[in-house]
Amino acid sequence: MALKIKKFKRAAASVDLTEGPLFKRMVLFTLPIIATGVLQLLFNTADLVVVGNSTDPTALGAVGATGPLINLIVNLLLGLSVGAGVLAANYFGSKDEKSMHELVHTAFPTAAIGGVIFGLVGFFGAREFLILMDTDSALLEKATLYVKIYSIGIPVSIVYNFGAAILRSVGDTTCPLIFLTIAGVVNVIFNLIFVFCFHMDVDGVAIATVISQTISAVFVVFYMMKVKESYRFSPRKMRFYKDKFLRMVVIGLPAGIQGSFFSISNIIIQAAINPFGTVVVSGNTSAANIEGYVYVGMNAFHQTALNFTGQHIGAKKYKRIKKITFLCVLCTGVVGLFLGLGALALGHPLLNLYSPGREDMIAVGMLRLEMICVTYFTFGIGDVLSGVLRGMGHSTSSMLITLGCVCGLRILWVYTIFQVEAYHTLKVLFYSYPISWIANMVLQAALLLFAYTRLLKRAKREEAEKISEEAGGGEPSLEAENPLSAEESGDCALFCEESPRNLKESSEFD
């Protein structure tokens, strides 16, 4: 283990994202994130392909039916990991080593304790939650078993995500890629052993997932125990620093709430899909997994925008945020269109991998791909704009827009238009996705324009005040030293701003 850790330390290190050519830095930062996301999806795809080729024809649908529920359980904590990442990026950008130390040693106990609590909720509430989702009775038992086993691994999964968020915030995207690669290979190996050698199905896939999650968490913790920089982790120094914990909650909780409401809206959509039967559920699951590859390509730029913005806010280099936003939006649009159209063009052979020869399932999957892939890039652009806003401290206001446009519109669509008999079809149901994405993109852009303009005006005005005071021989005011500091309560109102010294990182699915 010690030898491997040394190799990882040579392979990757923290990077000051505020220096050097911006586009080159962004490409080098983003590529490992894309690779990490693709690998994660490949391993998830391996789960579905293996279970889809097992002897039980309901196994694929059972695993697919659990996705929105699992996301609901873990997204609140993943949002807090975003808060940890944003703060870490701010502290790293402002060279505040003491605050970074306190943040790291607050983040890990938060992840562990929160993971245990939410794991228990998932384990003991699995069946009741799935019944509320109107899960098909033919899938219920296996879906319950999968959620119960998966919930056992939630604590280690959350610990990994907190550690990976901090590493990304200091510019290290290579180590999370290495850790995930090792864990993913182990996952695939155990999938094959459990399903084809021991003749298990959803239980074997779930156990393999928990094993791989544990491995990735062990690697990230051991690595952060060995680094020599400000984000070094020492288990003996773990404690809750109240100010860091509250800041992490203020920034991360809106992201977690947003992710949870995403999951609630997707649960409602899944509940609308479930009555169509196991064929539709399985076909929808396969298509959603293919869409995931488009998502990770776009979401990488969300994480890039968030971390770059966070470090620039910490370093008070506000003018480069405009270029960061432009480059991330452009890259997201190009990647989203390219991958979306590619997924649609290759849809039939790809879907056939999940359900060989099942043309009925493939037809359902193709319908979903046709409705979503062409406009998926609009979701990616809105996601990037949200990342910039979070990096600037506008986490709550961005969340409110997302909740209204994405979650609210989808739920309204399901309970109004979709309930009309003439429109009670899968095609009409899938229309809710592009409509909500476009609305979210437009409003996020409007909020960012307002927030960035206000940021520059305030910084310029207070810089002038500082120069004037210094010229007059007076001491600069605290406000002038920290031109972005606002209410101590954080992002508590629609356009309330965070202190740049106490801010920083994060990201989830459609």
SS (H, E, C) 10-40: HHCCCCCCCCCCHHHHHHHHHHHHHHHHHHH
* CA distances, 177 to each of 33, 170, 183 (Å): 7, 15, 10
Q: Minimum mean pLDDT among 274-283, 324-333, 437-446: which range?
A: 274-283
Residue 498 has pLDDT above 70, yes or no: no
**Using 50, 70 and 90 to split pLDDT, how confident is the model at 111?**
very high
d(CA 379, CA 383): 6
Please report which helix (H) or strand (E) contains residue 153, including its range: none
- Give the CB-side neighbour count of residue 458, counting CA atoms within 13 A: 17
- Structural domain of 12: 2-502
CA 255, 506, 387: angle at the middle one, nearest 5? 80
Residue 336 CB partners (closer than 8 Å, separation 6+): 294, 297, 298, 376, 377, 378, 379, 380, 381
Hey, is 296 helix, strand or coil? helix
**pLDDT score of 490:** 38
Q: How confident is the model at residue 435 (pLDDT cuts 50, 70, 90)?
A: very high
329 in a domain, yes or no? Answer: yes
Residue 478 banded pLDDT, cuts 50, 70, 90 = very low
Q: And the tokens for 214?
A: 């544990």
100/114 Cα distance (integer angstroms): 21
Report pLDDT for 476.
47
Q: In 3D, which of 281, 271, 318, 297 has the Cα closest to residue 130?
A: 271
In a domain, residue 101? The reply is: yes
**Which residue, 157, 7, 160, 29, is CA-closest to 89?**
29
How high is the mean pLDDT of the chain? 83
Quick check: is 365 in a domain?
yes
510 occurs within a structural domain: no
For the beta carbon of residue 457, count every other beta carbon within 10 angstroms.
Answer: 10
Spatial CA neighbour of 153 closest among 201, 211, 109, 194:
211
pLDDT at 2 over 60: no
CB-CB neighbours of 322 under 10 Å: 13
How many Cα atoms are found within 13 Å in the side-chain-facing hemisphere of 202?
A: 23
How far apart CA 507 and CA 510 sit, in angstroms, is: 11
Q: Which residues contact 355 (CB under 8 A, 6 or more apart)?
A: 52, 60, 282, 283, 286, 361, 362
pLDDT category at 54 given cuts 50, 70, 90 is: low
508 inside domain:
no
Inter-residue contact 506 to 90 (CB < 8 Å) = no
pLDDT-based confidence at residue 502 (cuts at 50, 70, 90): very low
- Report if residue 509 sits inside a domain: no
Query: What's the alpha-carbon Rg for the chain, to the nearest Å?
Result: 23
Q: What is the pLDDT at residue 83?
A: 87
Q: How many structural domains is the chain composed of?
A: 1
Q: What is the pLDDT of residues 147-174, one digit of tens each?
A: 999 999 999 999 999 999 999 888 888 8
Q: What's the residue count for the chain?
A: 510
Asked whether the CA dihedral 71, 342, 299, 449 is positive or negative, the reply is negative
What band does 14 get if pLDDT is binned at 50, 70 and 90? Answer: low
How confident is residue 496, by pLDDT bands cut at 50, 70 and 90? very low
More confident residue, 295 or 263: 295
pLDDT band per the 50, 70, 90 thresholds, residue 369: very high
Comparing CA positions, the residue from 244, 215, 306 lying closest to residue 107 is 244
Phi-psi region of 16 (alpha: psi -120 to 50; beta: other; left: phi over 0): beta
**507 domain-assigned:** no
From CA 357, how far away is CA 214, in angstroms rounded?
Answer: 36
Q: pTM score, two decimals? A: 0.71
Nearest to 111 by CA among 158, 51, 175, 63: 158
